[in-house]
Amino acid sequence: MNDYDVPAGTDVLRVFCGPDGRHGNTLGVVREGHRHPDRQARQELAGRLGFSETVFVDDPERGQLDIYTPGLRLPFAGHPVVGAAWLLDLEILELEVGDVFARQDGEFSWITARPEWAPPCTLQQYASAAEVDALPAPPPGEGRLYAWAWEDEAAGRVRARAFPRRDDNIAEDEATGGAALLLSALLGRALNITQGRGSQILTAPAPDGTVEIGGRVVLAHHALHASVRPGPW
């Protein structure tokens, strides 16, 4: 496991953790986005951190967010917005795509988003969860792949894995809210998704075409020092 250089004012979260609090997709949240004022500086920091996404908070009271992968900027992504909503304790977040509404319900943090906001990806169904588990990381091909199979169709339980297939050293995403949003919208039903090594994502489509995405968030590290070693989650 590599060490990551994390600047002061940056928190590290795990978003969409499993029922035991483990796993989840690691997220960097730069609370003082103004310290990295231009896109090049933000992209460089996101690349240096190496998380699947890093979010810069431009206004913590209004929830203005700016999201980056190690290699590109995203107008919207699920797990950064869920994580930031939990950390900032806000009911509305302002993104380039529009306002995102958030709520806390017990151990789950939820956001409401529109499917068209999510980065496009191929939703490929497999015959069984075992076939999804057997896929290499990443599978051959180009473009984002969300591989999924029913574990229990009647109960809405899904097994999934996500592969960005970008040139940024992220072979597999542990948990991806945007892809879960797209799948829930496609199927038109609420889902309970187990992704990656054991992350959990919940979805609930609404009549107005939006989808709620929910999951557990854990503060993995509050960066008071120069570096952080993400644990074996």
**Across the chain, what does the average pLDDT equal?**
92
- Listed by start position, the domains of the chain span 10-112+215-225, 117-214
With 90 as the cut, is the pLDDT of residue 233 above it?
no
CA distances from 123 to 83, 98, 179, 180, 183 (A): 24, 24, 8, 10, 7
Per-residue pLDDT tens for 18-56?
A: 999 999 999 999 999 999 999 999 999 999 999 999 999
The whole-model pTM stands at 0.92
Q: Classify domain 10-112+215-225 by CATH number.
A: 3.10.310.10
Per-residue pLDDT tens for 60-78?
A: 999 999 999 999 999 999 9
Backbone angles phi, psi at 10, to 5 degrees: -110, 125
Number of residues that make up the chain: 233
Contact 137, 163 (CB under 8 A): yes
Q: Classify domain 117-214 by CATH number.
A: 3.10.310.10
Contact 197, 91 (CB under 8 A): no
At residue 7, the pLDDT reads: 76
With 90 as the cut, is the pLDDT of residue 140 above it?
yes
Amino acid making up residue 5: D
Task: List the beta bridge partners of residue 110.
Answer: 103, 214
Q: Is 134 helix (H, G, I), strand (E, B) or coil?
A: coil
Domain 10-112+215-225 and domain 117-214 have a common topology:
yes
Contact 185, 125 (CB under 8 A): no
- Treating both helix axes as pointing N-terminal to C-terminal, what angle do 78-88 and 177-187 enclose, rounded to 10 degrees? 110
Backbone angles phi, psi at 147, to 5 degrees: -90, 130
With 70 as the cut, is the pLDDT of residue 6 above it?
yes
